[in-house]
Structure 1
Amino acid sequence: MSGEATPFPQESAETLNAPGDAPAEVAAEQAPAAEAASDAPAPSADPEQRVRELEAELEALKAEHETVRSQYMRIAADFDNFRKRQSRDQDDMRVQIACSTLSEILPVVDNFERARQQLEPQAEEAQTIHRSYQGLYKQLVDVFKQLGVSPMRVEGEPFDPNLHEAVLREPSDEHVEDVVIAELQRGYHLNGRVLRHALVKVSMGPGPSGSEAAAPAESAPAEHEA
């Protein structure tokens, strides 16, 4: 019997894995948490100091906010001014194009008006033709009205160099000096702006009687040419 080997007691897997390895596993799990805690800023030991730090941070954020807000307001104002300036420039461009185009058509209107004033057709055929082109003239005038074109009324008005161009000056017993006494070529407005100045005859006031009265009227054209 002395030759038989005494068997060693077999330990179960539960006995090998249980209490002995537990501390190592717990330490491994707690290591990341400990590292994260060490990275966080340590709270100030003095509460009043912490309050002052937070107040300083708040003031810095307020200043930064005000700076950004001011920059935004300036950019918004600049953009609004740019938009308004662009709108004005576009309006001015449209008016300039309209003035240029309509100014080229005004001589046609002048010819229609001269024909209506000077021609007095007697024959039936001539009257028919006259009515035809007067109908065209009326259509043209209606289109001008729709576009904002309106004729000036100048006779009896004080002379205004912003509206009138004096072609002749002559004495007048009926009008004081610098009053328009006759319209030589009609002027026009376009939506309140001067499209074409009116060519006018202007009074010089009561002048000398007899043959001397004609002298200023005769010298007026030479004065205009100068």
Structure 2
Amino acid sequence: MNQDNVDKNEPTQAPENAVEEVVSGEVELDQGADEQGLDWKAYADELEAKLSAAEATIEAQKDSVLRAKADGENARRRAEQEIDKARKFALEKFAGELLNVVDNLERATLAADAENEAVKSLLEGVEMTHKSFISTFEKFGLETLDPQGEAFNPEHHQAMSMQESDEVAPNTVLAVMQKGYVLNGRLLRPAMVMVSRGGSNSVDTQA
């Protein structure tokens, strides 16, 4: 057999320490990374801390946005309530001044002689004017308090006098001396009334 052929076909033998050299090289690489100052665990901890801080900041900003939104909604509702209140009661002072006009029209109607032909047409004009006032009042939420025969209500009525009566229950309105008015549920002027009493029963005369 040709010695040259044998040498060429036999596999080359790896050095016995080849594996050790590879492993040794990897270890040296890792040691080299450490020598460059790269502490991967510390770096990961740092990133996690930054992530936690960012998440906390986002949550805080969410709370701030939600609070700002809630404050805005509350402010809007308060503004709407104030506008509604102003709309309802803007005419309160003006309507209060006109009540004297309505009272005078009612007095003129009661005092006039309806059978007198000389004043009949004038009386009709006064009555029409009075009805027009009342109709206009009602359009703007002004209601008339005419509690004849009703139970005395100290929230809406002012007792000007009291009189014993066996015909009605105690604390009943016997007569209305002056009508009252309510504007959108709020008392504008109490009705001035005469109230019945019986025995020891008494009435709160404050409106």
Q: TM-score, normalised by structure 2?
A: 0.69
Q: Compute the RMSD of aligned alpha carbons.
A: 2.5
Distance 2:154 2:126 in 1: 34
Of the three residues 122, 146, 165, the one matched with 2:115 is: 122
Q: How many residues align?
A: 166
Task: Compute the displacement of 1:107 (Å).
Answer: 1.2
2:132 corresponds in structure 1 to: 139
Deviation at 1:45, TM superposition (A): 5.0
Mapping of residues 50-199 of structure 1, within 5 Å: 50-199=43-192
Q: Distance in 1 between matches of 2:196 and 2:178?
A: 16
- Matches of 2:173 and 2:51 in 1, distance apart? 75
Alpha-carbon displacement from aligned partner over 1:68-104 (angstroms, at most 9, x marks no partner): 1222222222233233333333444444431111010
Contact kept, 8 Å, 1:176 with 1:206, in 2: the verdict is no
Distance, in Å, in 1 between the alignment partners of 2:184 and 2:86 is 14
Structure scoring higher RCO (CA < 8 A, sep ≥ 6) equals 2
Question: In 2, are the aligned partners of 1:173 and 1:206 still within 8 Å (CA)?
Answer: no
The AA in structure 1 aligned to 2:197 is M
Per-residue deviation at 1:180? 1.8
Match of 1:212 in 2: none
With over 3 angstroms needed to count, the CA separation of the structure-2 counterparts of 1:43 and 1:135, relative to structure 1, is: farther
Structure 2 unaligned runs (5+)?
A: 1-35
Describe the shift of the 1:44–1:181 C-alpha distance in structure 2 as closer, same or farther (beyond 3 A).
farther
Find the residue that maps to 1:57 and give its secondary structure.
helix
Q: Partners in 2 of 1:44 and 1:130 — Cα distance?
A: 108
CA contact (8 A) 2:109 2:126 kept: no
More moved, 141-150 vs 114-123: 114-123
Corresponding residue of 2:6: none
How far does residue 122 in structure 1 lie from its aligned partner after superposition?
Answer: 3.4
Q: Does the 8 Å CA contact 2:146/2:191 hold for their aligned counterparts?
A: no
**Aligned position for 1:20:** none
Aligned-pair CA distance for 1:64: 0.4
TM-score, normalised by the number of residues in structure 1 = 0.64
Contact 1:172-1:206 at 8 Å conserved across structures: no
Structure 1: segments with no counterpart, 5+ residues: 1-41, 208-223
- Residues 95-153 of structure 1: per-residue CA shift (max 9 Å, x gap): 44311110100111111112222312434342112212222222212111111111124
Partners in 2 of 1:52 and 1:185 — Cα distance? 85
Distance 2:111 2:162 in 1: 25
Does the 8 Å CA contact 2:88/2:184 hold for their aligned counterparts?
A: no
The question of 1:202 aligning with 2:191 is answered: no
In structure 1, distance between residues paired with 2:69 and 2:83: 21
How far residue 156 of structure 1 moved from its aligned partner, in angstroms, is 2.9
Range moving further from structure 2, 140-149 or 80-89:
80-89
